[in-house]
Homo-oligomer: A and B are copies of this chain.
């Protein structure tokens, strides 16, 4: 491979960080500028993430805002917050001027409310200012909150030649031209064109004659997750956003959707692992505790519940102390089965590929759990029989295992489906939530059935 500058092979080495730190210390601005301009802004952001705050701010102030605005966007959110706190409203406004409207609005939305107004009033480009203000009004989880105002738009009455002329003007503001959107006199979206179509068309053609009326779009109030699903399903790289009157308002590009998909997946993963907030390994111990402790408390309460159940059965089982030694096994199996079945449902719901009624799902899960449970119970039966020598105990433990697994599977299937019907994110039903409730139910069922079989 070559030494191309923003290649796959950029590697953040300790040497590079040291070099940058030294250049800052010695205030060798020219060399520093020369060194950093070699890198892609996403790489510069990675370097800044490793520096002290003063050093990062030094670089932000050193480089021109065309670069630093993009660098800011790529910084870790908490580092960006600190950097912005050290810039004046005017300096932030200068960065904002260089950003696309969607990124600009995102940065401003992160600022404390009182600074937001101050920064906005410092934006010189009036159109940019108005567009950013418009975007700030939308819910951040809606299409409006994700879209950019930058797009290439043509009227159906234009000719191809006139179009090309005007596109040369519009396209300057648009980093990448995905589609050209065709609107009527009322600015309503009526179709699309690709640059390719324009190039191939005769120059005196009217747009009205060549545009493709079959255009995907989303409403400005649609949920971003739905937008992500549409763009994924139809393999779109950009999608126009319209209001309720079909007026063209903006467009959403696939790179923002990739971020949405990634964030959503990370969030579900963390929920399944019992972490409540969006944390990273490098966050502070305090932030990590805030994210982890609530679910651990839930586990503690579940454990206390299990304790109380076992204490309640204490007298019945004077003769069968050995039964108590299987409670961790029962709890673990109940938890594992519950997590498995809920994870499959949560994923099916997320990917929109669950078909059929809740009842059918439950019946299927029951059969599945009965099958898995029976196979596992046979092994457990043999083990207990051999070790304990008592066939009744073996029968009690293994048959209740089957029952526990079936109930755990049903709970794991039902809870996310139920939450989803109620409009609650089913992903919270995975992980510690299911594990804890299944622990308690599992142990309770276990002792009930054991009591029944042993006839105590």
Contact = CB atoms under 8 A, between A and B. Distances in A.
Interface in A161-219: 164, 167-168, 171, 176-178, 194-196, 199-200, 214-219
Task: Kindly name the residue among A258, A259, A332, A347 whose own CB sees the greatest number of chain B CB atoms within 10 A.
Answer: A332
A106 to B, nearest CB: 14
Given A1-B219, A339-B274, A344-B281, A233 B42 contact: yes
A218 B8 contact: yes
A273 interface: yes
Interface in A1-52: 1-2, 4-8, 40, 42, 50
A244 B258 CA distance: 29
How many interface residues does chain A have, given as a range? 35 or more
A216 B186 CA distance: 41
A273 B335 contact: no
A382 to B, nearest CB: 11
A159 interface: no
Interface in A352-384: 353-355, 361, 364, 367-368, 371-372, 375-376, 379-380, 383
Contacts of A331: 328, 331-332
Interface string A273-311: 111000111100100110011011101101110110011
A55 B117 CA distance: 61
Residues of A contacting B: mostly:
helix
Contacts of A246: 1-2
A327 interface: yes
Contacts of A406: none
B199 A4 contact: no
A280 B355 CA distance: 11
Interface of A: 1-2, 4-8, 40, 42, 50, 164, 167-168, 171, 176-178, 194-196, 199-200, 214-219, 222, 226-227, 230, 232-235, 237, 244, 246, 254-255, 257-259, 261-262, 265-266, 268-270, 272-275, 279-282, 285, 288-289, 292-293, 295-297, 299-300, 302-304, 306-307, 310-311, 314, 321-322, 324-333, 335-337, 339-340, 342-345, 347-348, 351, 353-355, 361, 364, 367-368, 371-372, 375-376, 379-380, 383, 430-432, 435-436, 439, 443
